[in-house]
Each structure stands twice: as C-alpha cells, then as structure tokens.
Amino acid sequence: MKKIVSAIIFSALILSSCSTDFLEVNPTTIIPEEESYKTENDIVKALMAAYAPLQALDFCTSDFTTKGEYHPYQFISDILADDYNAVGGSGPGDCPYLQLMFDYRLTPEQSLIALWQNIYRGIYRSNIVVNRIGDVDGISEQNANRYVAEARFLRAFYYHILWKFWGAVPYYSVNPDGKQVSYIVPQISEDELYAKIMVDLDWCTSENRLPEAVTLTQVGRANRYAAYMLRADVVMLKKDSARYASVLSQLQEIIGTKIYALTPKFEDIWSDAGEWNCESIWEINYADNPSNRDWSDIFAPGGTIYPTFIGPDSYKGSRFTREGYGFGPVSAALKAAYEEGDYRRDASIMDFNTDAQAGESYNPRQGDTGMFNKKYMGRNDGNSNYIGSDSPELNFRTNLRIYRYSETLLRAAELIVRTDGDISVANGYLNTVRARAFRTPADELGSHERRATLDNLLEEYRLEFALEGHRFFDLIRFDKAEEVLGSKGYSAKKRYLPIPQNEIDRSEGKIKQNDY
C-alpha cells in the first residue's frame, strides 16, 4: 500500500533543486526546464515530485546541520491550543520557536522558516505540472485532467497551510524565473489568498476530474473526496456561508457513496493495519523500508520522525520505542473531557499514571504530566523493517492521517446546524460517531446521545480528533479562541504567526509583517 512513497521521493531526487534569490523555491536543474517535459512519464515524475514535500511536514529544514527546525504539522497546530500541557523537550532552549509559539511570544526571527520554504517548494513543483502539461503530446484528456487536478489540489493544500498560519503571503501560480516573472513575489491579502485557493478547489472538484478512488498501488494520491474534504476545511474556516450549501452537498455525496465507513474500533485506526482503513480519505504515506532517511538527508526515502518526537524520553518497556524526545505532554483537562466508557480516551492518550505496565518507566521532561499522544507514539515494531544502521528513529512507517470519514460526518452535521437544516439528520451523523466511541448501537446510546448543537459539535471535534492538529482551528472557526486560550496569551492579534524575518528582508520591503 505504500509503493507511492519511494516513487514520490525518487522523483523528488530526479527533479533535484537549487535555491532562487527569493522564497527558496526549487526549479529543476538537471535538465533545462524547457527541455524537461516531453512525455507523459515526465509529467508523472513532476507530479510525484509535487507530492514529495508533504513528507517533510513531519520534520525540519533540508539542512539540519546548520539550522535544525522541527515543525510537525499536527503538533504546531496543537501547541497553539489547549490540549498539551507544555511543549515538552528538555526545556525552553529545546526547539525555542515552539516554546515561544506555545504562549504566543513567537518572533519574526524565530518563525517557522523551514516550514515556509518547504511549502513553497511544493507550490513551485505543483505549478510545473499545471503550466507545462500543455507542452506534452500524447496524454489522453482524462489523464491530463487528472494530473492537473492533482497538482491544483496540492497547490491548494500547500497554500491553505500558509493561509492558516500566516494569512497574507506571497502568491504565484507561474513560477518565478527572474526574467518574465520576478523573484520578488507580490504578497496578497488573506481574503485574496482564500479566493485563489477556492479557484483551484472549485476546478479540481468539478467534472469528475479526480477519481472516486485510487488503486492500492497509488494510495496517497488525491481522490475526489480528499479534495471535497480540503474544500470543506477551507470554506468552513473562512466562514464563507455563501458556499455552505455546496460544501454540504459534497460531504453528503461522500456519505451517500457508501465507499467509507467508520472503523469499528477507534484504537485500530492507529495501528499498522489501520492505515488506509475503511474511513481513511487521505493520508500522507511513510515507509521504514526503503528507508535511507538520516540526519544528513531528511528527503531521502524513508519514514517519519514524529513518533520519536512525541515519545517519552529514555523509555523502558516493551510496548513503545526506546528512543523518544519527550515533546507534547498531554494536559489533564483533555483526559478529563472524555466521559467514562468513551474508548477514544485510552486510544488517544497514553497515561503512565494509570496504565503503565510492570517495569515501564521513562525520564520526565518539561511540563510532564505522565500522559502522551498515543495515536502517534512509536510502537516497538513500528520501524521493524528498517535496514539502515544510523537513524531508525527517523524512519517509522506511521502514516499521517489527514482526512477521516468521521470528520465528514461531523462537518456535515455542523453545516446542517449552521444552515438551519434537518436537525434529525445532523443528530444522526453526530451520534453515529459517538456510537463508535462507546461501542454501542446509535439507538442505544442512552445518556451518551447528543443533540447536534454548535457547542456539542465543538466538543465532539475535540474528543474525536484530539492531538491531530484540529483543535486551534476549530476554536477559531467557532469563535471560541479568546475565551479558551486567552489565559495562554491568545488575542485576536495573535491569529496569524509572524512572517519569517529573512523573507521580509529578501522581499525588499514588499512583504508586510503581521501585527503579532
């Protein structure tokens, strides 16, 4: 199921790169670009290269030896919210930018430059597919539409990350070359960027340009329903009520296909066997074999470091990896939010205070609560296929779950509430998710049954997607961020991160800093 991993990374290496003067976008350099795209196979390689930066969402800059930066995509979202007690690690000097993000003290000098650069790398490569496919003869209309739709989906996904974290950023859909298109890329407003993202998403979700499903050898490539979910994500965060009806229609199309269903046991989602299960709409693939990723080349084929990053330091025991950095101690409030009998609690949180086995121990680090993110903790066999000698801790085969069917149900329920639709249908969607959580038929939930209200749905998002990077943006969407996070230092001015200062400097004053 993970064959795409090596294909993506191999293609990324074929399309190797050098930096431009601005934004550090990455053109192809082995062959002059105007001579590179002659066959359908060339376009497929370019498309696979556009997927490749997704894998770096778990890690850091490509040159870790001179400027290391961890920026796990889910983690940087969650430390802005309230479900981690602290950043963790060895203390304030360990990933200091994360420590500053936690209580809204991040500076432009410390802002996430490696994430910024990696996202623009993905945008650059996506643009190549969109803009060069017309140069290639012999591609069927169906295939051409699919390749461009995938590239535009990726471009929208990359820009939506920039939009979520920074708001107003430089935008380009034709790659800068310093000749016809200046390296000094204009910054556009948050509203303008939203409109650009929606142009891509409206295009790639129309006319069946993306397939309903992909073959087992292609899992990880975008399908139609992954694009629907991204469109819902963007529209609902923007609170664009004019598009709610179309988004709800697309979500109910997913529900009506019966392609997806909830995995019967919530805890099974996070196992090896749970990857690409019956509720997986889109995941980012990782593999422990081939697995050449190491500290000198994090873009080599391989796995993810995230289980190591959030694992307990100096762990002794048989269930989890012994190599852990101790980031992300879970807050006691998150565990307390679950009702007794909700199986999601113990599947989401590893609590060594109550659930430790005989002989298990670890070294407490900053903000320790005894609780960790169990969903992504490194199981003791999670990189058992690793054949390298230097960096097994970088090479877990744990996929990053991006969109799950339970989110389809809850977002559909939310939109029904927001559009004054049939509340009985919304109740059904919500309680289908809760029935799985309590392992009981929906009509037998009893005191665990809930009515679909905005408050109940916000709480359900927290319980279902705990520690998956949803919470901060859910609080923003529900207008609860200042109420819940004010004691941490959040205010409306802190909605967007400061733009990395070196990008401000390179722009010759064209990029304006966020008022953070």
pLDDT tens for residues 179-207?
Answer: 888 889 999 999 999 999 999 999 999 99
- Tokens representing residue 174 in the block: 């034709």
Q: Which CATH architecture has domain 223-285+399-461?
A: Alpha Horseshoe (1.25)
> Can 1-68+114-211 and 223-285+399-461 be said to share one CATH topology?
yes
Instruction: Render pLDDT for 79-116 as a digit per residue (tens, 0 to 9).
Output: 999 999 999 999 999 999 999 999 999 999 999 998 99
pLDDT value, residue 7? 32
Instruction: Render pLDDT for 321-335 as a digit per residue (tens, 0 to 9).
Output: 988 999 999 999 999
pLDDT of residue 62 exceeding 50, the answer is: no
As a three-state string, the secondary structure of 206-225 is CCCCCCCCCCHHHECECCHH
Domain ranges of the chain: 1-68+114-211, 223-285+399-461
pTM: 0.93
CATH classification (class only), 1-68+114-211:
mainly alpha
Phi, psi torsion values for 170, nearest 5 degrees: -65, 140
Distance of CA 319 to the CA centre of its chain: 26
pLDDT value, residue 33? 60
Q: How confident is the model at residue 60 (pLDDT cuts 50, 70, 90)?
A: low
Burial of 348 from C-beta contacts in 10 A (0-12 / 13-18 / 19+): buried
Instruction: Render pLDDT for 119-157 as a digit per residue (tens, 0 to 9).
Output: 999 999 999 999 999 999 999 999 999 999 999 999 999
Coil, strand or helix at 166: helix
